[in-house]
């Protein structure tokens, strides 16, 4: 009888434990309420949110003075990615997200795409939403593009997105939704391919979020959703409604405004999650949240304790905040210290959707799905920060191999705005804030790293950096920044 009683207790205990596990992580295709939805039986919804110029010290999980309760909870309940890397500026990082290639392999390594230059990511590269369409996904984008617009073929709805609401270029006024002055001033706001002219005076992130919420609400339950939301915040110009600035009574000037923009971003993310919950999509959604580069100190961004910021190859410009969240993430509530690079999101998102990159094409990204879902073994031990030789006196190359980082050439501007050129070697494990240059004390390691950098350089392609074209001016396009003045290649 005693043995029977013990066996019965064990059976009950195992049943309770199994039920608890199912409640903690609902099974594939099952909501937490236990109901099965057709869209949740196979592929996850993927929500890819990108903040613009968000600094390392500009989020609540790194800085308790920053008010980001929604992001903090999502990061805390998910996996914080502590070694997530990017190019130090917008266009190159975004081109990596969309193609899985390093910028120096596709021509986006030099600066950013400009309004008046005929630039675009070459059409031979298949963009992420195009591949997700092959997997049956609905693909929508709301926010900042910055990957070319001079030819319609470069624009979002011609590169795999079912819909687009946002702006084509680098930055715009948050209220007028235009950029430039005089004959160079033009509206940069589109609903699919139509210019939007009725939003003057409205704060952009508000109606961008409205658009995301609307797309989520209209989404059918029998199709997986890919929603790409590259937010305007916190890129310059620094603008935000006063109620957000008032959340930081101890701050002044631009820093007060920027932190208000961070909190406005946090509120927007909260609204998007709520919309996913109301649409019964959230329990089968993989959320990826990321910046595109480090914060911009010149515009009140803060990357403490990392060195430098946007436009520099220091860690503050290239190592950014990121996390993943979702029921398919099996190991949660911890900080993952394995290397991940912007190029990796392309194959990782495709893997989550059940797809793979095009056959016969060796992209630079590696599939990190096992790493982010299950804290699996590291799949990356080196990467390229950037290689750019467009301007001879400002040539730059930077790589990481294991714990070591090499910067050779132009690293960025110093605190006085002067170009800073040199050679630096760091052991990032021992010196994550880059205070001890080992270039003179470790000549053998320096030689090894330089040799590896030279290997990478052999596959560099020329930068896409043509002269400005007057035909781009809004005066010729009914005062809007518009496609139609170049021919895509």
Q: Residue 301 and residue 257: Cα distance in Å, rounded?
A: 11
Residues 6+ apart with CB under 8 A from 440: none
- Whole-angstrom Cα distance, residue 142 to residue 268? 12
Place of tokens 């205070």: 435
Determine whether 150 is an active site residue.
Answer: no
Task: List the catalytic residue out of 62, 105, 140, 146.
Answer: 146
- Alpha-carbon separation of residue 412 from 87, 407, 409 (angstroms): 13, 11, 9
Whether 90 sits among the annotated catalytic residues: the reply is yes
Question: Cα dist. 386→87, 110, 316, 454, 464 in Å?
Answer: 7, 9, 14, 12, 15
**Main-chain phi, psi angles of 279, to 5 degrees:** -85, 5
Pairwise CA distance, residues 123 & 150, whole Å? 13
- The count of other CB atoms within 10 Å of the CB of residue 73 is 15
**Residue 78 near residue 326 (C-beta atoms within 8 A):** yes
Question: Residue 268: which residues within 8 A CB-CB, separation 6 or more?
Answer: 205, 208, 209, 231, 233
Catalytic one of 90, 110, 325, 341: 90
Cβ-contact 101, 357 below 8 angstroms: no
Q: Active-site positions?
A: 90, 146
């Amino acid at each position: 009888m005693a043995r029977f009683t013990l066996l019965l207790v064990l059976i009950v205990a195992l049943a309770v434990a199994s039920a608890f596990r199912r409640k903690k992580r609902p099974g594939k295709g099952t909501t937490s309420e236990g109901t099965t939805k057709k869209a949740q039986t196979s592929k996850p919804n993927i929500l890819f949110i990108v903040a613009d110029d968000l600094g390392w010290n500009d989020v609540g999980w790194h800085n308790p003075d920053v008010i980001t309760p929604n992001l903090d909870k999502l990061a805390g309940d998910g996996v914080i990615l502590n070694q997530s890397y990017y190019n130090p500026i917008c266009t190159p990082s975004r081109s990596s997200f969309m193609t899985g290639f390093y910028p120096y392999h596709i021509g986006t390594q030099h600066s950013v795409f400009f309004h008046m230059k005929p630039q675009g990511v070459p059409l031979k590269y298949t963009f992420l939403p195009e591949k997700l369409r092959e997997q049956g996904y609905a693909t929508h984008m709301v926010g900042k593009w910055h990957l070319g617009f001079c030819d319609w073929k470069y624009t979002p709805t011609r590169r795999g997105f079912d819909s687009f609401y946002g702006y084509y270029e680098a930055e715009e006024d948050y209220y007028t939704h235009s950029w430039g002055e005089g004959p160079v001033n033009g509206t940069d706001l589109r609903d699919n391919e139509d210019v939007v002219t009725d939003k003057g005076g409205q704060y952009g992130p508000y109606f961008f979020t409205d658009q995301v919420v609307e797309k989520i609400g209209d989404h059918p339950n029998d199709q997986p959703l890919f929603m790409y939301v590259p937010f305007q915040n916190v890129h310059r110009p620094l603008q935000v409604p006063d109620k957000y600035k008032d959340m930081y009574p101890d701050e002044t000037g631009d820093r007060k405004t920027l932190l208000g923009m961070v909190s406005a971003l946090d509120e927007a993310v909260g609204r998007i999650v709520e919309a996913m919950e109301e649409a019964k999509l959230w329990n089968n959604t993989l959320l990826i949240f990321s910046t595109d580069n480090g914060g911009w100190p010149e515009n009140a961004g803060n990357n403490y304790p990392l060195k430098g910021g946007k436009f520099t190859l220091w860690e503050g410009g290239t190592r950014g905040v990121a996390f993943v969240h979702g029921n398919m993430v099996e190991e949660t509530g911890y900080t993952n210290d394995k290397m991940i690079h912007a190029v990796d999101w392309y194959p990782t998102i495709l893997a989550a959707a059940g797809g793979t990159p095009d056959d016969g094409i060796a992209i630079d990204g590696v599939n990190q799905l096992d790493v982010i879902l299950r804290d699996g073994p590291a799949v990356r031990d080196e990467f390229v920060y950037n290689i750019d030789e467009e301007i001879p006196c400002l040539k730059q190359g930077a790589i990481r191999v294991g714990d070591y980082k090499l910067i050779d050439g132009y690293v960025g501007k110093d605190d006085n705005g002067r170009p800073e050129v040199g050679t630096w070697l760091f052991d990032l494990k021992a010196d994550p804030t880059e205070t001890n240059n080992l270039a003179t004390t470790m000549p053998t390691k320096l030689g090894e790293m330089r040799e590896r950098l030279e290997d990478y350089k052999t596959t560099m392609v020329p930068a896409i950096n043509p002269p400005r074209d007057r035909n781009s001016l809004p005066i010729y396009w009914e005062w809007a920044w518009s496609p139609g003045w170049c021919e895509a290649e």
